[in-house]
A and B are shown apart, each in its own frame.
Chain A
Amino acid sequence: MADLPELNPVIHGKLRLALLSLLSSVEEAEFTWLRSKTASTDGNLGAQLLKLEEAGYVAVEKKFVQRKPQTLYRMTESGREALTEYVQALKQLLGSAINA
């Protein structure tokens, strides 16, 4: 069991994992779109996105579109690598459970 990988705790949270997965499939996404896809509250969503931003997994851009403020989130290269590693670790753990 010593060879089994550890799951990245920053990504392991359900909402953070959902957010990174969503962001991996689009070029950039607006805060309200992420909120509607995850059905989360503004406060919780903002807090989880901040954790991902602090870890360097997402980049934030604030701008005005048609005079309305928009907060856009984009997955960074290290975020993509972290998600890939997380999926590989998950598969390895599940594989070991099947073989046990």
Chain B
Amino acid sequence: MSNVEEQELKDRLSLIESMISEGRRTTESWGWTFVLWGVAYYIAIALSAFGPSAIAWPVTMIAASVLTGVIGSRISARQPETTTGRAMAAIWIGMGISLFILMVCLGMTGRLDLRISVAIIGAMLGASNAISSIILGWKMQFACAVVWWAAMVAALFTTENIAGIIFLVAIFFCQIVFGIYGMIAESRRNKARAAAQGAFHG
């Protein structure tokens, strides 16, 4: 075998490796969902404080879920389905349904208390962020999980008013700031990949 033929075979092998890793790399965008849900939490808090408090959270959460589904299906319509994408959806949908049912039931039975609510939300979001960060290998998201866990602990050892402030601060950093950071990082990643791609011919 000549050196040219050997090099061609090596090129074929590296082409296979690069294409497999390119396909596995998730190109789905998650940053916008954090911002959307952060805004939804703020709207729900504002509505429950100044408007119809009993239905503020359920209505806002259902509206945010519908909006996430509609925008998500439009964004991912042309993306391939990957195991990572399905794992991400499974974590957040599972967490969302659990949290929704629990909070509605706590509200209906009159056992809802702000400190307990913040602790439950902190625990659930901490777990979901931690699992996502490990799957995606995204260290910054693990920092969000730590903030939610810290909020969970702090809320249980303080007054209701301070627990409310802790919740607002955690939403700001873990949803709004992290979401915007995620959107910027995803945009940079996609631009870098687009620039690095070359054409293949028959």
Q: A residues near B, CB below 8 A? A: 12-18, 21-30, 32-33, 36-40, 44, 47-48, 65-66, 68, 70, 83, 87, 90-91, 93-94, 96-97, 100
Which residue of the partner chain B has the closest CB to A87?
B16
B52 touches A (CB below 8 Å): no
Measured between beta carbons, the chain A residues less than 8 angstroms from B200 are 14-15, 18, 38-40
Q: B interface, by DSSP: helix, strand, loop or mixed?
A: helix
Q: 20 A–B contact pairs at CB < 8 A?
A: A14-B12, A14-B200, A14-B201, A17-B16, A18-B200, A21-B15, A21-B19, A21-B20, A22-B20, A25-B21, A26-B23, A30-B78, A30-B79, A37-B22, A66-B74, A70-B78, A93-B9, A94-B6, A94-B9, A97-B6
Q: B residues near A, CB below 8 A? A: 1, 6, 9-10, 12-13, 15-16, 19-24, 73-74, 77-83, 197-202
Which residue of the partner chain B has the closest CB to A66?
B77
Measured between beta carbons, the chain B residues less than 8 angstroms from A66 are 73-74, 77
A28 and B81 contact, Cβ closer than 8 Å, known pairs A12-B12, A22-B19: yes
Measured between beta carbons, the chain B residues less than 8 angstroms from A28 are 80-81
Q: B198–A39 contact, CB under 8 A? A: yes
Whole-angstrom distance from the CB of B24 to the nearest CB of chain A?
5
Known pairs A17-B15, A27-B80, A94-B13; list 7 more (Cβ under 8 Å). Answer: A15-B201, A24-B20, A26-B23, A27-B82, A28-B81, A30-B79, A66-B77
